[in-house]
Amino acid sequence: MPEVTVTEHILLHQKRSPHATGQFTGLLYDLILSGKSISRRINAAGLLDILGGTGEVNVQGENVQKMDQIANRQLIYRMERCGALCAMASEEEADFIPVPDDFPQGDYILIFDPLDGSSNIDVNINVGTIFSILRRKPGKKGPVTLDEVLQPGSRQVAAGYILYGPSTMLVFTTGQGVHGFTLDPGVGEFLLSHPDMTIPEQGRIYSVNEGNSLYWDDAVRECVDYFKGCENSLGKPYSSRYVGSLVADFHRTLLYGGIYMYPRDSRKPGGKLRLMCEAAPMAFLAEQAGGRASNGFQRIMDVVPDKLHARTQLFIGSPRDVEAVERIHAKYGK
Ligand code: AHM
Ligand code: MG
Write out pLDDT tens, residues 260-289. 999 999 999 999 999 999 999 999 999 999
The pLDDT of 225-244, averaged and rounded, is 95
What percent of the chain is predicted at pLDDT more than 70?
96
Residue 239, phi then psi, degrees to nearest 5: -85, 160
pLDDT for residue 17: 61
Residue 167's identity, in one-letter code, is S
Residue minimizing CA distance to atom 17 of ligand 1: 244
Distance 227 CA to ligand 1 centre (A): 22
Provide the 10 A C-beta neighbour count for residue 217. 15
The closest ligand to the CA of 118 turns out to be 1
The pLDDT of 166-172, averaged and rounded, is 95
pLDDT for residue 1: 64
Distance 314 CA to ligand 1 centre (A): 12
pLDDT for residue 240: 98
CB 69 within 8 A of CB 54: yes
Examine the pLDDT at 131 and tell me if it is beyond 90. Answer: yes
Q: Over the stretch 24-60, which tens digit does the pLDDT of each residue have?
A: 889 999 999 999 999 998 887 666 677 778 888 877 7
Q: Which mutation among 118, 246, 265 tests ligand 1's pocket best, with the greatest number of atoms within 8 A of CB?
A: 246
What is the Cα–Cα distance from 319 to 327, expressed in whole angstroms? 12
Q: Which mutation among 126, 129, 209 tests ligand 1's pocket best, with the greatest number of atoms within 8 A of CB?
A: 209
The pLDDT of 190-200, averaged and rounded, is 97
Note residues around ion ligand 2 (Cβ under 5 angstroms): 113, 116
Angle between helices 22-43 and 6-14 (to 10 degrees): 160
Provide the 10 A C-beta neighbour count for residue 57. 11
Q: Which mutation among 42, 116, 316 tests ligand 1's pocket best, with the greatest number of atoms within 8 A of CB?
A: 116
Strands, E assignment, the chain: 53-57, 63-65, 85-90, 97-98, 108-116, 127-135, 158-164, 168-173, 178-184, 189-194, 205-207, 239-240, 259-262, 273-274, 292-294, 311-312, 314-317
pLDDT confidence of 19, banded at 50, 70, 90? low
Residue minimizing CA distance to atom 2 of ligand 1: 116
pLDDT for residue 328: 97
pLDDT for residue 27: 93
pLDDT for residue 45: 67
Angstrom distances, CA of residue 155 to CA of 46, 149, 228, 257, 278: 39, 11, 36, 25, 15
Residue 106, phi then psi, degrees to nearest 5: -130, -170
pLDDT for residue 15: 65
CB 109 within 8 A of CB 149: yes
- Mean residue pLDDT of the chain comes to 93
Distance 3 CA to ligand 2 centre (A): 32
Distance 190 CA to ligand 1 centre (A): 26
Residue minimizing CA distance to atom 12 of ligand 1: 244
Residue predicted with more confidence, 265 or 119: 265
Distance 248 CA to ligand 2 centre (A): 11
The pLDDT of 114-137, averaged and rounded, is 92
pLDDT confidence of 20, banded at 50, 70, 90? low
CB 308 within 8 A of CB 146: yes
CA dihedral of 306, 308, 312, 314, whole degrees rounded to 10? 130
> Is the entire prediction scored with pTM above 0.85?
yes
The dihedral built from the CA positions of residue 248, 318, 155 and 183, taken in this order, carries a sign that is positive
What is the Cα–Cα distance from 63 to 109, expressed in whole angstroms? 26
How many Cα atoms within 13 Å fall on the side-chain side of residue 8?
Answer: 9
**CB neighbour list of residue 58: distance below 8 Å, 6 or more residues apart:** 64, 68, 91, 92
Task: Please report the atom of ligand 1 found closest to the CA of residue 117.
Answer: 4
Residue minimizing CA distance to atom 4 of ligand 1: 117
